[in-house]
Amino acid sequence: MKKNIAITPPMGWNSWDCYGASVTEDIVRKNADYMAKNLKDFGWEYVVVDIQWSEPTADSHQYHPFTELNMDEYSRLIPAPNRFPSSADGKGFKPLADYVHGLGLKFGIHIMRGIPRQAVHNNTKLLGTDKTARQIADLDSICHWNTDMYGVDPEKEGAKEYYESIFKLYASWDVDFIKIDDIANHYPKKEVEMVKNALDSCGRDMVLSLSPGPAKLEEAEHLKQFANMWRITDDFWDQWKPLYEMFERAEKWCIHSGPGHWPDADMLPLGALRLDYPDNNQTQFTEDEQYTMMTLWAIMRSPMIMGGDMVYNDDFTLSLMTNKGILEMLKKARNSRPVFRKKIDGREIVLWTAFRDGGGKYMAVFNLSDEAATFSIDLSETEIDERDLTELWSNKVWEVNGDYIEISLNPHGALGFICK
Amino acid sequence: MKKNIAITPPMGWNSWDCYGASVTEDIVRKNADYMAKNLKDFGWEYVVVDIQWSEPTADSHQYHPFTELNMDEYSRLIPAPNRFPSSADGKGFKPLADYVHGLGLKFGIHIMRGIPRQAVHNNTKLLGTDKTARQIADLDSICHWNTDMYGVDPEKEGAKEYYESIFKLYASWDVDFIKIDDIANHYPKKEVEMVKNALDSCGRDMVLSLSPGPAKLEEAEHLKQFANMWRITDDFWDQWKPLYEMFERAEKWCIHSGPGHWPDADMLPLGALRLDYPDNNQTQFTEDEQYTMMTLWAIMRSPMIMGGDMVYNDDFTLSLMTNKGILEMLKKARNSRPVFRKKIDGREIVLWTAFRDGGGKYMAVFNLSDEAATFSIDLSETEIDERDLTELWSNKVWEVNGDYIEISLNPHGALGFICK
Amino acid sequence: MKKNIAITPPMGWNSWDCYGASVTEDIVRKNADYMAKNLKDFGWEYVVVDIQWSEPTADSHQYHPFTELNMDEYSRLIPAPNRFPSSADGKGFKPLADYVHGLGLKFGIHIMRGIPRQAVHNNTKLLGTDKTARQIADLDSICHWNTDMYGVDPEKEGAKEYYESIFKLYASWDVDFIKIDDIANHYPKKEVEMVKNALDSCGRDMVLSLSPGPAKLEEAEHLKQFANMWRITDDFWDQWKPLYEMFERAEKWCIHSGPGHWPDADMLPLGALRLDYPDNNQTQFTEDEQYTMMTLWAIMRSPMIMGGDMVYNDDFTLSLMTNKGILEMLKKARNSRPVFRKKIDGREIVLWTAFRDGGGKYMAVFNLSDEAATFSIDLSETEIDERDLTELWSNKVWEVNGDYIEISLNPHGALGFICK
Amino acid sequence: MKKNIAITPPMGWNSWDCYGASVTEDIVRKNADYMAKNLKDFGWEYVVVDIQWSEPTADSHQYHPFTELNMDEYSRLIPAPNRFPSSADGKGFKPLADYVHGLGLKFGIHIMRGIPRQAVHNNTKLLGTDKTARQIADLDSICHWNTDMYGVDPEKEGAKEYYESIFKLYASWDVDFIKIDDIANHYPKKEVEMVKNALDSCGRDMVLSLSPGPAKLEEAEHLKQFANMWRITDDFWDQWKPLYEMFERAEKWCIHSGPGHWPDADMLPLGALRLDYPDNNQTQFTEDEQYTMMTLWAIMRSPMIMGGDMVYNDDFTLSLMTNKGILEMLKKARNSRPVFRKKIDGREIVLWTAFRDGGGKYMAVFNLSDEAATFSIDLSETEIDERDLTELWSNKVWEVNGDYIEISLNPHGALGFICK
């Protein structure tokens, strides 16, 4: 681990949930502007351009198969200048990164594992080796949902040089964050190691984020060593079922989070989503579900990457992203763990605790049932000795009767406490 | 949970590892005397008579199949007076419990799930019901390693009354701890619930301990609700392999420990063991392995039940059982978790941390390799902010250089730290 | 293989389906009389007394657990004289066997794998060894549905002598057929081999039949070597579902039938069944289902063991058991195999063919659907070159148009053809 | 089934084993000439051009990834004229098929499932629909060992028209046999059905052969309905291990062979193989293994497709292909089945029988051990009543002593008998 990378769970914004493959430089700049103005002080910093920035005709969440991508002479994808005008004349993402850096933020990009199919079909050159694209490709290793790339066979001569050549390019653009796709679930270990080694030798610190999930629990120690964050689910969207299922994933992965290595519950589908579609643009989560998501992400210490176009944030959405107590929990929770998951009066209640760096504890309580729940918690049973409790969403000091507190939760609702 | 039961992991002594089925009242009294004199102040309190105390001819770890057990008219096993003289004249374990209580300690017994086969074969009476032994037995439910009992079919009329009748008997003896056997691994849920309900209605608090393991992780929430401790392994003995394997079990179960419910790594095979055998009576663990076991049990918060005959304790064994820092870790560790398990210079190193109730943290480091290990730990990576570290076995203040400490570990060795 | 044993699939009668454990000598004699008079000429020959003939109080299909069985001084079960009067005075089944033999028939008995529990509990003597019952028992090997026996551990000294002692006893009674139970499905190979070796050395030829199923296909070659017939299903009763499922079992096992070794589809639940129950005494199969069963058993060459009390046979039942063509198919079919199982106009149709010893072929057609079916069969596709077809149940010469025949089948109905 | 197709197992020659992808028209003609002269009278008839006849640069068993294939304007592959000169000027395979037909033989070609990748990348036209190549392709359905094609998505409009267009083309060439590849093991059912329907509507009878295996046993009835032959193994070569393993496959599949539908044990790797390699060109099978292969293929009724270049046949190879008795067994065996597979004196011996169309039986005996075997067979146990036995490879009348014959087999050797 490089100590200055991802010491706490990364926080930022990503263009996928709102624009799919079709984001443009203008949108990125506007979201960066918004973040700098409204969110930077709360810890939000990464601005990430998601998939297919080299595809000139991308216009939605649907990919155009076999369309021509923008590529340099060494088989490396470069931004499509019609969508990212500042990238013209071989400047790549450097001007946009400069802009983001100028706002005091950090800049990230998405890449696909492998080498462009068009490079393999045309058998183009590679940088730093006399091998060619076709010679390093693994022709049986394709992505199941996108036709851009073939996998790279790590055993092939020239493979290492190819991966080094792309990370050198990203370093020359001053990129701070790489989200690499089609790699976390099937987890081609040798290719992961080659990616990480190429990053480590590129001369610039970058967060390495692996997608999509679910990553395999049995690879936890390898993931901790070779990545800064990795997806523990398939793509997460604004529906209750996957949010409900996240609790089990969180239980399994919670012992594996720590400085530089974070199990990632995926982007936050909040606010304005799917803007390439005519309607259904607002998150389908209820407000309670949004509290639940933010509270779980915070206490389990998942990276928080906003998925909606922030320019359209309403007050509620902005309030979720600027709750200082919750965001402090994300940074200061330690040894987070589920304490119980049980039926109380027929409601499925989950309770987590964590210690707080600097003193005190955190406690989060969730109602996973479709009905409201009212019950007492015996703090001594949960090993909470503190009796000064403040609920973080309401900023309300909670009444404690001896060892007991009373809880009322809406369906799918959550409360988060700081205990001092 | 009854709040006064097993708030911290139970500590005590059990007769199995040293005497198998053959323990006698005299041995129990001597071990109780020893505990009262040497260990009580360190938190050790339960004195537990293990299996087959109703078997008059028991003489080793090998059971005598189909031998006649001592039983009352209501199909309830009672102590064999030739082995437990004070139990004569229908007094049962009451006199021995009185003796143990008089020393300021607590008294426990082992029972087998089910109803005696001899009661079923002879179809004897039950207390509080006109049903008979054969009518409540599940004839296809036998223990695979002992012929004493048939299982009880919880659906049968009279089954509830039988379990209530035995717990009433134990309550009349003033028993404080029940270790119930042949139940934790295959886990007949309905029978477990019947046992717990019988205990709850018997009028006396008793710790409920389930054996043998491995219990199933997917039953964790049920176990937390219906038992105070449950075995997470098959019988554990003084060999490195099962100790090594305990680390994986500890990782899986650590989120499920808490007041009143403790995953149990089994008895401590320390000191004088297998005294029914002519030789091989001393634990086969190296001193380093003993440190490792005690450190792991403490930080994962497993119950600590001494397995050796304590009367024969040597100084080293006694020192293990009286290390105040380690035993305080057992009681005060909170949110314990493994932080990493990785190869460092080819050695397999495991590191756990926990918070300390009342302030500070604990950290334990283990070398699972057969070779000695020397390496540095970056405390900031393990989220230990404290810089005042004392190693608990050596009581040595540890040198901290900035964020780093240097560790040297013998093969299979361990260190435990309190961090303030 | 002994060449004079089970050269064709055994045919006979068994007392289980009609009387469970409660059959008496009188009933056996009456069924033997009936067989001699009505069925002997059609090949029926074995008269088999099923389970618990040593249990004096047996009165139904329900066993009495732990009841005292009739046993000799060497731990060997012997008939209960109150139920089998001729067995008194140590004569065992010899007088009854003599009676059956006098009718020109053969005599068989059921036994349970293992050694009586009462012998083990009382630790009684064995013949031909100084070991005792408890010393050869496998105390963890019990039958899941009957409490009479413990398994015998083949590794124990004295085990071989025990099995030899019981087969010597059966040989002294002139038994011709042993149905051994609690052995075919879990298939304790070493115990099976010990049983077969004891039989082979007892001085008398006996058919060895293993129950209950399902036997495992992967043990087919071992079964062929060590048994004459073995059950391929759990107990089979007069319901369509298990009859439907028999077709898949028949497909899998058909290549494993041959002289001396027969996959056994279980007894024929025809006519008067369950006579220990007040009603529901007649087979629940429709007439079509009975044709289907008899036709399948015949072409797949399963042993045919009548399960009903034959004294109550009605004309239809008797007609099923005396169809010469069907019974000739059972004996003369060779290389039987399913040719297809397919949907024709939405009906699930199965077709089998076999060659006929001595010339010609057999063909059986089944309608497994709940609706009637009408369709054509192209004989050339089924490799039937013969054009002279007689249907065996109707004894009707079938019209053949070129290569085609027309078939109409009732729901669950069957036709069987001899093709010359 | 069309009755005139594959009534008995197809016999022929295929270019793969000897030339991989590199066969030329000249070689095909020479093998056709050889077959017409030496083998036609023995039933050999299909001359099949294997994979990549549209690839101009193919030169070995190794494919050239992404090389340009010869394709017409409707996305249909056509022969490369540099390798198949008579195909020039849009004539396709018609002239070569005419030549083969002129010799009294039949002509077949290999195709890959799907649509050429180059058609998809260039999005070319299809015949009979306004959809284009990219619109019917399934981009996630690729062959794992060859880059020529994408799968076709049967749900897409235009897919049916594409498959019809290629079969119409093959019909216009007068093709008699289609070996379709990348389809039998993973078995995309809907695509198989689309292929069969396209064939059925093309106006010409063709044998449909599916590759590569292993096909799934649970698809047997679907395969019987939609194909004439299907591979039951992965590519089979001249090594003992896969030949040994074929016995188990033969056991499982034997009940599924019949007129028009044949489980296929793959080509016969005999004589001159791998002629694109500098050495190792002669089959590695021993003579005994070749007898074993031919005997097993014959009695199990697998298609027999010669894999070696027949022009180089030595006398032994030719003798294998012209043994009238063995080839008659291939055609006349009925209801073939394994009778036993057992150890005799430590040798693993397999025995099959079949009935013979027209009278008599076949019997084949195999020694699967590495040592020679000598033993007796009791013909009555195998249900062989005939006593006039002729061994087919030696044409020797075998001595029968009562029911017994004596067998001596070399390691991996076989004998085949006709019994009358």
- pLDDT of B2 above 80: no
Question: pLDDT tens-digit profile of D337-385?
Answer: 999 999 999 999 999 999 999 999 999 999 999 999 999 999 999 999 9
Cis upstream peptide for B79 (omega within 30°): no
Instruction: Give the pLDDT score at B375.
Output: 97
Q: Going edge to edge, which strands form the sheet with D262-264? A: D262-264, D229-231, D207-210, D177-181, D106-112, D46-49, D11-14, D304-306
Instruction: Give the pLDDT score at B280.
Output: 79
Residue of D nearest to A122 (CA): D66
Contacts 24+ apart (CB under 8 A), B313-316: B313/B34, B313/B38, B313/B271, B313/B272, B314/B271, B316/B287, B316/B290
The complex's ipTM works out to 0.93
D260 neighbourhood in chain C, CB within 8 Å: 381
User: What's phi and psi for C230, nearest 5 deg?
Assistant: -150, 140
Give the mutation candidate from C147, C149, C156, C182 for the B interface (greatest B CB count, under 10 A): C147
For chain C, the average pLDDT equals 96
Q: How is B350-373 classified by DSSP, letter by letter? A: EEEEEEETTS-EEEEEEE-SSS-E
Distance of CA A384 to the CA centre of its chain: 31
Give the mutation candidate from A62, A118, A139 for the D interface (greatest D CB count, under 10 A): A139
For chain D, give the secondary structure using H, E and C: CCCCCCCCCCEEEECHHHHHHHCCHHHHHHHHHHHHHHCHHHCCCEEEECCCCCCCCCCCCCCCCCCCCCECCCCCECCCCCCCHHHCCCCCCHHHHHHHHHCCCEEEEEEECCEEHHHHHHCCECCCCCCEHHHHEEEEEECCCCCCEEEECCCCCCHHHHHHHHHHHHHHCCCCEEEEECCCCCCCHHHHHHHHHHHHCCCCCCEEEECCCCCCHHHHHHHHHHCCEEECCCCCCCCHHHHHHHHHHHHHHHHHCECCEEEECCCECCCECCCCCCCCCECCCCHHHHHHHHHHHHHHCCCEEECCCHHHCCHHHHHHHCCHHHHHHHHHEEEEEEEEEEEECCEEEEEEEEEECCCCEEEEEEECCCCCEEEEEECCCCCCCCCCEEECCCCEEECCECCEEEEEECCCCEEEEEEC
User: What's phi and psi for B99, nearest 5 deg?
Assistant: -60, -45
Report the alpha-carbon distance of residue C227 to residue C232 in Å, rounded. 13
Token duo for residue B340 = 């990493």
Report the alpha-carbon distance of residue A255 to residue A266 in Å, rounded. 18
Instruction: Give the pLDDT score at A63.
Output: 95
In chain A, which residues touch B (CB < 8 A)?
A: 1, 3, 7, 221, 224-225, 251, 254-255, 258-260, 334-342, 353-355, 357, 359, 378, 380-383, 385
Sorted by where each begins, the domain ranges of chain C are 11-322, 336-419
* Residue D119 C-alpha, separation from nearest chain A C-alpha, in angstroms: 11
- pLDDT band at residue D234, thresholds of 50, 70 and 90? very high
Report the alpha-carbon distance of residue B211 to residue A302 in Å, rounded. 37
Instruction: Give the pLDDT score at C3.
Output: 63
Residue of D nearest to A140 (CA): D144
Q: Name the residue among C209, C212, C241, C239 with its Cα closest to residue C226.
A: C209
CA C55 to each of CA A134, A363, C151, C173: distance values in angstroms, whole numbers, following the listed order: 81, 66, 19, 18
Q: 């799918």: which residue's tokens?
A: A412
Token duo for residue D243 = 């030949």
Report the alpha-carbon distance of residue C277 to residue C268 in Å, rounded. 19
Q: How is B66-83 classified by DSSP, letter by letter? A: TPPPPB-TTS-B---TTT
Which amino acid, one-letter code, is at D282? Q
- pLDDT of C1 above 70: no
Instruction: Give the pLDDT score at D3.
Output: 64
Q: Name the residue among A197, A200, A202, A195 with its Cα closest to residue A172.
A: A202
- pLDDT band at residue D185, thresholds of 50, 70 and 90? very high
Distance of CA B357 to the CA centre of its chain: 23
Mean pLDDT across the stretch B9-30? 97
Question: pLDDT tens-digit profile of A351-369?
Answer: 999 999 999 999 999 999 9
- pLDDT band at residue D277, thresholds of 50, 70 and 90? confident
Give the mutation candidate from B57, B62, B66, B143 for the C interface (greatest C CB count, under 10 A): B66
- Do residues B202 and B175 make contact, with C-beta atoms less than 8 angstroms apart? no
* Residue D139 C-alpha, separation from nearest chain A C-alpha, in angstroms: 7
C335 to D340: CB separation less than 8 angstroms, yes or no: no
Instruction: Give the pLDDT score at D280.
Output: 79
- Do residues A400 and A363 make contact, with C-beta atoms less than 8 angstroms apart? no
A225 neighbourhood in chain B, CB within 8 Å: 342
Cis upstream peptide for C95 (omega within 30°): no
* Residue D403 C-alpha, separation from nearest chain C C-alpha, in angstroms: 11
CA C110 to each of CA C20, C175, C415: distance values in angstroms, whole numbers, following the listed order: 12, 11, 34
Report the alpha-carbon distance of residue B406 to residue B374 in Å, rounded. 7
Report the alpha-carbon distance of residue B291 to residue B285 in Å, rounded. 10
Q: Which are the contacts of A218, defined by CB distance < 8 A and separation ≥ 6?
A: none
User: What's phi and psi for D26, nearest 5 deg?
Assistant: -60, -45
pTM above 0.95, yes or no: no
User: What 3-state class would DSSP assign to B407?
Assistant: strand
Give the mutation candidate from A222, A340, A377 for the B interface (greatest B CB count, under 10 A): A340
Question: pLDDT tens-digit profile of B282-318?
Answer: 999 999 999 999 999 999 999 999 999 999 999 999 9
**Number of Cα atoms under 13 Å in the Cβ half of residue A58:** 28
Mean pLDDT across the stretch C121-136? 96
Q: Which residues on adjacent β-strands are paired with residue A409?
A: A373
Among positive and negative, which fits the CA dihedral A244, A247, A250, A251? negative
The helix (H) or strand (E) run that includes residue C8 is: none
In chain C, which residues touch D (CB < 8 A)?
A: 1, 3, 7, 221, 224-225, 251, 254-255, 258-260, 334-342, 353-355, 357, 378, 380-383, 385
CATH number for the region B336-419 comes to 2.60.40.1180
**Number of Cα atoms under 13 Å in the Cβ half of residue D173:** 28
Mean pLDDT across the stretch D54-81? 96
User: What's phi and psi for D310, nearest 5 deg?
Assistant: -70, -20
User: What 3-state class would DSSP assign to A82?
Assistant: coil
Mean pLDDT across the stretch D240-256? 97
Instruction: Give the pLDDT score at B279.
Output: 80
* Residue A357 C-alpha, separation from nearest chain B C-alpha, in angstroms: 8
What are the residue ranges in chain A where pLDDT is below 70?
A: 1-3
Distance of CA A362 to the CA centre of its chain: 23
Token duo for residue D174 = 């007068």
- pLDDT of B112 above 50: yes
**Number of Cα atoms under 13 Å in the Cβ half of residue D296:** 31
Instruction: Give the pLDDT score at B3.
Output: 63
A139 neighbourhood in chain D, CB within 8 Å: 65, 147
Say if residue C26 is exposed, middle or buried (CB neighbours under 10 Å; 0-12, 13-18, 19+).
Answer: exposed
* Residue D336 C-alpha, separation from nearest chain C C-alpha, in angstroms: 7
Mean pLDDT across the stretch C266-283? 93
Identical fold for domains D11-322 and D336-419, yes or no, is: no
Report the residue from C251, C357, C383 with minimal CB separation from D258: C383
Report the residue from D3, D260, D380 with minimal CB separation from C3: D380
Instruction: Give the pLDDT score at B1.
Output: 44
A66 to D121: CB separation less than 8 angstroms, yes or no: yes
CATH number for the region B11-322 comes to 3.20.20.70
Q: Name the residue among D361, D337, D365 with its Cα closest to residue D351.
A: D365
Report the alpha-carbon distance of residue A45 to residue A6 in Å, rounded. 11
